[in-house]
Structure 1
């Protein structure tokens, strides 16, 4: 990676020789979709700059799944073996009651990753981000610790204002900056116009493996609810990632960037629960990678406006309940870059083709999130003694697998 505070874009030899139009691309966000898109654009002869609000690639995050078409993209990028080498390698999971008594255990699947013997790869988010950024190579310019303050476009380009760097002009801008996309807000309007809240919150952070877990997950469901908390050992059992969630009828009033306020909310919601949840919350206060956010989706009629286009969660977040955010971002990055190549940089044709290729796949995966949510709620109702037929209440996991595999990638 090339980190710079100058205004000169790092240009690869391939870019210098590349014909065509709209070659200078700014990507906002260095998560999953941003570096994956940068990889392909760089190889297709575009000049790429990534601006990222964090001072470095963001640490922490949950274990995420690379599935279906994303595995194909990773193979085409030459990083699939690296991704598989860094997978979390779970052996199984257990559910426990408030006293820590095991209710059941399985070595066939886990809550976070699904079927253990599936071809899917479960990997920590920060590990995958590092792999993708390193694969993109030294031709990518990074502006860390900065963000967009303005976006003004005309028929010749996009003038972008930065919080810290001097303003610059690019041919195209891609917002790959997540659920709370700043790019989307600047170009398309308020987040509230596009956000569909799903009634729950999820939090993740790192803590020591004081339970001595060996590639295992332990989860506790709060009595009478569908959420609670759990923990999984990672990085050769040297640490753990904690997951906690709770239901909320409304969005929280505090800002999603106010970490201290969010920690207090989580402590108030789950501090009185059983099992190890209070002790895990004790480790939360000093966790440098604490994250808490709403389970929500982004729904938009169009993912582009002029020379600006959105990618991944910024355009069509399916929520962690879908288990498909990572796959959507990687697959869509491949498609967007490929369509820009095929259109020789004609953004109007490329953006339209990108939406045509991805729109139905996005719709199916967003529906999958609600299917998964219905299953969790049906299971909770059954445990409370309500008459619920899980087989007819929601589709089975085979249907989910068919949705995941339904996107057929083109060769560009």
Structure 2
């Protein structure tokens, strides 16, 4: 009886977006996060396509604009740091989007805007799940056993809770690409452009500005072996060996990563599932459909997915129901089906990578690097730049967002 209850596992952008909208729709929402506290920091992400409309509906667009990274565009450079081709911010998309923001900043903005009554518990995780069909019960690390109308898994690409429920139904497409992210010191020579350098042997180096007086750096290289499986010290040592002699500012990044407190290692993997729900459990965000940075738009899809899921759940009960009847009148199965049908096309589009990716963009030879630079130089010319910017056209759809039925909530 009473309002329907949802447990969201993961205080990611996907989890927080879902919590925001379900709270607005009158659900009692609990969010659990295995980290001991909110995680600030993170790398540059963006808000594109339909996610911009979601952000406006949330009333948060101005706050995001006020916290952008200041990035003015993307510049591809050679080993001497000379610009080969530049793509300034032009409109809402492009290599650099109009709304570029640090992951932690966007998550913090959504967190601070959550409706009163959304409960967040840190240092907690799910140990087991029981789903007989008319409710879902979870056993938690703290020892508590709790019952909800719906469990939403928003933990990310390597979700452990997803494996408890959907283990045999998860397909992973490893892209054989390692990426290390971290924050390093800013120098007087740095500016507000994303500097992108391609070296031989499938290596890339990127420097991106932020709004905190530092630089967000990235080292990427193609390999069949995952660096994410190594200890941090082993991974740093491997990066030093792999990027030896790569040129440009590689040595600066390697040295910066040796003392940086937020270095993160990832082995890019797409997640594909035939179904995103089972009875009263569903997945959203990277746990359901990780598109990887190569597909782009992961944060935008997280924002959209949270809204769409909540919208169809809000439509699943009779509008004439009293608050004590709503939980009993829910048609959760139908709502989850409609959520999946709406999201599938936009996710499938984001997961489609150009033929030959990532090898096409990570050449092994000097000739391959030279070819890429020639293509970039031509593409950066005015008339062709707009065509090239379509690479950033992700999270777009011609369909209208579904209507969400909101209830009066305390702010």
Q: TM-score, normalised by structure 2?
A: 0.83
1:232 aligned onto 2:208: yes
Aligned 8 A contact 1:30 1:50 in 2: yes
Q: In the alignment, which residue of structure 1 is the partner of 2:84?
A: 104
SS in 1 for 2:113: helix
Q: CA deviation at 1:224?
A: 4.7
1:314 maps to which of 287, 302, 306: 287
Q: Secondary structure at the match of 2:268?
A: strand
Confirm or deny that 1:264 pairs with 2:244.
no
- Give the 5 Å matches for 1:61-80: 61-80=42-61
SS at match of 1:292: strand
- CA change 1:367–1:166 in 2 (3 A) is same
Q: With a CA cutoff of 8 Å and minimum separation of 6, indicate the structure with the bigger relative contact order.
A: 2
Q: Is 2:221 the partner of 1:254?
A: no
RMSD of the alignment, in Å? Answer: 2.9
Residue-pair matches, total: 379
Give the secondary-structure state (helix, strand or coil) at the position aligned to 1:332: helix
2:324 corresponding residue in structure 1: none
> Is 1:279 the counterpart of 2:252 in the alignment?
yes
- Is this contact kept in 1: 2:312–2:402, CA < 8 A? no
8 Å contact from structure 1 (residues 175, 184) kept in 2: yes
Distance 1:232 1:211 in 2: 14
**What are the superposed Cα offsets for residues 252-303 of structure 1, whole Å, 9 maximum, x if unpaired?**
5826xx4344333333322442222122222213322211111211011000
Cα deviation, residue 162, structure 1: 1.8
Structure 1, unpaired ranges of 5+:
1-17
Paired residues of 1:32 and 1:128 also in contact (CA < 8 A): yes
Residue 156 (str. 1) matches residue 134 (str. 2): yes
Shift of 1:320: 0.8
1:338 counterpart residue number: 311
Alignment partners' CA distance in 2, 1:385 and 1:340 = 50
Aligned to 1:297: 270
CA–CA separation in structure 2 for the residues paired with 1:252 and 1:39: 35
Q: Which residue of 1 aligns with 2:22?
A: 41
Cross-structure match for 1:194: 171
Query: Against the structure 1 CA distance between its residues 242 and 407, is the aligned structure 2 distance closer, same or farther, given a 3 Å change threshold?
Result: farther
* Partner SS for 2:196: strand
Which of the numbers 396, 406, 409 marks the counterpart of 1:404? 396
Secondary structure of 1:189's match? helix
Residues 365 and 404 of structure 1 are in contact (CA less than 8 Å); yes or no, is this contact kept in structure 2? no
Equivalent-residue separation in structure 1 for 2:397 and 2:364 (angstroms): 26
Bigger mean CA deviation after superposition, 201-210 or 259-268: 259-268
C-alpha separation between the residues in 2 aligned to 1:355 and 1:311? 10
- Structure 1 equivalent of residue 216 of structure 2: 241
Question: After alignment, is 241-250 or 395-404 more displaced?
Answer: 395-404
Residues 158 and 263 of structure 1, relative CA distance in 2, 3 Å threshold: farther
Secondary structure of 1:104's counterpart equals strand
Unpaired stretches in structure 2, ≥5 consecutive residues: 318-329, 380-386, 405-411
Task: Map Cα deviations across residues 43-74 of structure 1 (whole Å, 9 max, x no partner).
Answer: 11111111111122222222111011100000
User: 2 CA distance for matches of 1:186 and 1:196?
Assistant: 20
The CA deviation string for residues 119-163 of structure 1, in whole angstroms up to 9 with x for no partner, is: x41111110000111111342111112211111111332221222
